[in-house]
Amino acid sequence: MFKLISKTIAAVAIVSVALFGSANAKTLKIETHFTASSPNGEVAAQFAKNVEMFSGGSLKVEMFYSSSVTGKSAEVFNSAQTGIIDCDMTGAGYQTGKNAAFQFAGDVMGGYDNPYQQYDFLKFPGAQEAVDALYNKYGMTLIGWWIPGHESLISSKPIPDVASIKDFKFRSPPGMESMIFTALGAKPIVMDFGEVPTALQTGLIDGADYSSLATNYAGGHYEQNKYATYPGFHSMPADHSL
């Protein structure tokens, strides 16, 4: 995953040197919905260190984890938009309520086999321009994606086939995923990323679309809910840096 965000680091470093120079260090406040101890949070921490190194010290990053400034994952975009923080490192899928096109900048649900295919999407003629226009409409600029790979469902019961999804009450992000799983007979509940651990522990939901197998495991979510889908088939979200 470290290699996957190298282009983003380079872009940030180039911009920082051009704008600030090495003598006047600028600190960017960046917020992510991931916990600091999760694999994704560790990558974000390394990203912050690399930005400082590659910018020659002209740019420093102060990371805020678990949506600790804003409170909810879906609101981090707004916080960056209004200047409460400088950068959003959540995902476009949370913004489908603003514009359905964000679904295609975040997670097309089974559209790609691996992260590299999704990165290649931006190389198609007009793709980068369309994505830029989408973000620019809201006063934001996409610096880059970081894509950890397919997600795995967390479940309190086995999910061996599509039929077993019927009446499966699970946390789902907003947008296309909820629509697809509803059509399959499941009962998705749109819930903020930060609310999932408590909902799982209390049995409010039968499972969750939370993150990758590694992040789910690191968070201890399989201790009570023993089952997972692997390899993931339904979702490979591109978390963005804005």
pLDDT digits (tens, 9 = 90+) for 45-79: 999 999 999 999 999 999 999 999 998 988 999 99
C-alpha 112/C-alpha 213 separation (Å) is 18
The residue with greater pLDDT, 15 or 100, is 100
Least confident of 26-30, 113-117, 166-170: 113-117
* Reported confidence tier of residue 109, pLDDT bands at 50, 70, 90: confident
Looking at residue 108, its pLDDT comes to 85
* Reported confidence tier of residue 218, pLDDT bands at 50, 70, 90: confident
DSSP per-residue codes, 72-132:
SGGGHHHHHHTTSSSEEESBGGGGTTT-TTHHHHH--SS--SSHHHHHHHTTSTTHHHHHH
User: In terms of domains, do 55 and 159 share one?
Assistant: no
The residue with greater pLDDT, 81 or 230, is 81
Mean pLDDT of the region 160-181: 89
Looking at residue 19, its pLDDT comes to 46
Looking at residue 142, its pLDDT comes to 92
Residue 8 has pLDDT above 70, yes or no: no
Domain boundary among 148, 168, 186: 148
Residues 6+ apart with CB under 8 A from 37: 218
Domain boundary among 148, 176, 198: 148
Looking at residue 150, its pLDDT comes to 87
Mean pLDDT score of the chain: 86
Residue 156 has pLDDT above 60, yes or no: yes
Looking at residue 16, its pLDDT comes to 46
Cis peptide leading into residue 148 (ω within 30°): no
Residue 211 has pLDDT above 60, yes or no: yes
For the chain, percent of residues with pLDDT exceeding 90: 43
Which amino acid, one-letter code, is at 50? N
C-alpha 214/C-alpha 116 separation (Å) is 19
User: In terms of domains, do 63 and 178 share one?
Assistant: no
C-alpha 230/C-alpha 5 separation (Å) is 24
User: In terms of domains, do 29 and 136 share one?
Assistant: yes
Looking at residue 23, its pLDDT comes to 53
Residue 13 has pLDDT above 70, yes or no: no
C-alpha 161/C-alpha 143 separation (Å) is 38
**In angstroms, what CA-CA distances link 8 with 48, 83, 143, 144, 221?**
11, 21, 6, 5, 30
* Reported confidence tier of residue 10, pLDDT bands at 50, 70, 90: very low
Domain boundary among 148, 169, 188: 148
Q: Is residue 89 part of a domain?
A: yes
Q: Which domain holds residue 140?
A: 3-148
Q: Is residue 44 part of a domain?
A: yes
Mean pLDDT of the region 75-89: 94
Residue 21 has pLDDT above 70, yes or no: no
Give 162's DSSP letter: G
Residue 122 has pLDDT above 60, yes or no: yes
User: In terms of domains, do 167 and 129 share one?
Assistant: no
Give the CATH number of the domain where residue 128 resides.
Answer: 3.40.190.170
